[in-house]
Structure 1
Amino acid sequence: MPDSTNLYLFIVAALLLLIVPGPNMAIVTSHAVTHGWRAGLAAALGITLADVLMTVMVSAGLGALVMSWAPAFDVLRWAGAGYLMWLAWQALRTPPSDTETQPTQASLRKILVRATLNSLLNPKALLFFMVFLPQFVSVGTSSVTLQLMFLGLLLALIALVFHSLLGFCAGRLHTSLRKGSIHKRLGSYCFAAVMTVLAARLLLLSRPV
């Protein structure tokens, strides 16, 4: 485990990074506003799953191995943008339901997978884990690999709590606005707009030097 100073600094840095608006916040909020708080929680769980997977990759050295292949950054970037645009298209072509229903277990699984893929197909997310976690490792105290795992899992836990609360609050907005087909169609438009903006953001990413 890292020493207490590095651990406190890590927690503060993680909280500061989470409150800055970014793609994960947009994914959770858009799903919660469109489908309710359960959808926001499913998105939060998907992001956490991606965080855990990236932690394992970084701790095992797989992250550096992937990024050592020159085209990897662009492959992930274009795949992620294409996936987000497909989600936007699906939201626009699906007609709003005439009845107000809670998300089913199957649809919640879809949202969890969406959020997981959104993070995994963002090359900057993997690079962030590769750069951020090692800064708080205490050299000489214990295994570097175990410290990276601990820090990554702690970050995933903090993010899960933050995004779950965000999803619940955004879901309250869904509850207050859910009446009427206009809102349902507006929700689809807003979701499609968020996915399109995130896709454009990925396409505009510059490859790290």
Structure 2
Amino acid sequence: MFPVDPWVLLAFIPAGLALNLTPGADMMFTLAQGLKGGPRAGMAANAGIAVGGMVHTVIAGLGLGALVAAHPVAFDVIRWGGVAYLLWLAVQSLRAGPMAARGDVAARSLGRVFVDGLMVNLLNPKVILFILAFLPQFVDPSRAVLPQFLVLGLVFSLGGFVVNGVVAVFAGGAGQRLAGSAVFARWLGRVGAVIFAGLAVRLALMSKG
């Protein structure tokens, strides 16, 4: 038997898609990487974020997410780790400049961008709390909970991957077209740094509630 009732899934898809379309940290991170490194870099970041969302889903489904929600110290440790990581990315963006200026992104760089997207998502404790608040509304307690979490989380992550993928492609195309200018190339690096720093501040100011 399919873990999730088909009618519940039909209700979940538009609700999840509406949330995917709401601009947030994941979309802004994908936008920054697309501008900085081109469409492939944006999609690499997007893929890392999607995988991170599934990891959060598994954690929540196993009940570990509830522990993070219940213990402020664990929440703060993860949150400040995320702040530090985003600030490090901002510094790297200023020092390295936009990769799109080179016309392409090396395979190693794409792997690095994927890991960055994964880490930014995993180090955002708000994602765990969101999953704990949103997914259970569509979970039938009379059925096995973890399979339902996995199916719903996969659908939600795929929706986010598609939406953020569009952002990555358009931002990456714009970044590559404009990066031919050395002056604009420097500004792309600065824009990326501002976005990363802004996300760090946003995460730092977040409260658990």
**Does TM-score exceed 0.5, indicating one fold?**
yes
Partner of 1:143: 144
Partner of 1:15: 17
Letter in 2 for 1:160: F
Query: Is the alpha carbon distance of 1:161 and 1:99 closer, same or farther for their aligned partners in structure 2, counting shifts above 3 Å?
Result: closer
What is the CA–CA distance in structure 2 between the aligned matches of 1:97 and 1:136, rounded to whole Å? 42
Q: Please say if residues 81 and 203 of structure 1, whose CA atoms lie closer than 8 Å, have aligned partners that are also in contact.
A: yes
Q: Please say if residues 139 and 148 of structure 2, whose CA atoms lie closer than 8 Å, have aligned partners that are also in contact.
A: yes
Q: CA deviation at 1:171?
A: 1.4
Query: Is the alpha carbon distance of 1:98 and 1:176 closer, same or farther for their aligned partners in structure 2, counting shifts above 3 Å?
Result: closer
What is the CA–CA distance in structure 2 between the aligned matches of 1:79 and 1:188, rounded to whole Å? 23
Scaled by the length of structure 2, what TM-score is found?
0.93
Letter in 2 for 1:189: R
**Identity across aligned pairs (percent)?**
37
Is 1:4–2:10 an aligned residue pair?
A: no
What is the CA–CA distance in structure 2 between the aligned matches of 1:190 and 1:179, rounded to whole Å? 16
Q: How does 1:13-92 map to 2 (within 5 A)?
A: 13-92=15-94
Query: Is the alpha carbon distance of 1:96 and 1:191 closer, same or farther for their aligned partners in structure 2, counting shifts above 3 Å?
Result: closer
Is 1:185–2:208 an aligned residue pair?
A: no
Q: CA deviation at 1:101?
A: 3.0
Q: Please say if residues 36 and 98 of structure 2, whose CA atoms lie closer than 8 Å, have aligned partners that are also in contact.
A: no
The alignment partner of 2:104 has SS state of: coil
Partner of 1:194: 195
Q: Please say if residues 101 and 180 of structure 2, whose CA atoms lie closer than 8 Å, have aligned partners that are also in contact.
A: no
Partner of 1:173: 174
Query: Structure 1: where are the runs of 5+ without partners?
Result: none
Query: Is the alpha carbon distance of 1:98 and 1:164 closer, same or farther for their aligned partners in structure 2, counting shifts above 3 Å?
Result: closer
Q: Which moved more, 1:160-169 or 1:42-51?
A: 160-169
Query: Is the alpha carbon distance of 1:98 and 1:23 closer, same or farther for their aligned partners in structure 2, counting shifts above 3 Å?
Result: closer
Q: CA deviation at 1:170?
A: 1.3
Q: Please say if residues 37 and 100 of structure 2, whose CA atoms lie closer than 8 Å, have aligned partners that are also in contact.
A: no
Q: Please say if residues 92 and 189 of structure 1, whose CA atoms lie closer than 8 Å, have aligned partners that are also in contact.
A: yes
Q: CA deviation at 1:99?
A: 6.1
The alignment yields a C-alpha RMSD, in angstroms, of 1.7
The alignment partner of 2:198 has SS state of: helix
Q: Please say if residues 96 and 181 of structure 1, whose CA atoms lie closer than 8 Å, have aligned partners that are also in contact.
A: no
Is 1:154–2:158 an aligned residue pair?
A: no
What is the CA–CA distance in structure 1 between the aligned matches of 2:36 and 2:121, rounded to whole Å? 20
Partner of 2:205: 204
Q: CA deviation at 1:111?
A: 0.6
